[in-house]
Structure 1
Amino acid sequence: MTGPEEQRCREAFNHSLSELVRAFHKLGLSRETLVLSLCGSAFALLKHPGPHHGDKDREDAF
């Protein structure tokens, strides 16, 4: 990714993360719970990226 495409991806990610933080706050969940949830989700994606990613090297990183 370069230039405008990368910027759009960053903005979309930041927006999604902001929405997630708001949702956790509304539910009364702690920041620690949010961080643990994000880490768990990221780890799951790294271990099993799915058929649309095609990056099999990620799984070998662990």
Structure 2
Amino acid sequence: MSEEEREVYEILSETLPKPISEIMTGVPYGKSKVTEILKRMVNAGVVKIKGNGRGTKYHL
């Protein structure tokens, strides 16, 4: 797991499913970078997606 992924993982481990906007407040990356990190983590099976579109939330 990369350092970026570790940072996102720590934020997701704190509470219930979160939208990208909440995840972004805890890391020093923009929306496109956070989206890229989450996509890698979803593909690796580390993170799960709930909902779709603007209502998409991510959780462990």
TM-score relative to the length of structure 2: 0.30
Q: Return the index of the structure with the highest Cα Rg.
A: 1
> Whose RCO is larger (CA < 8 A, sep 6+)?
2
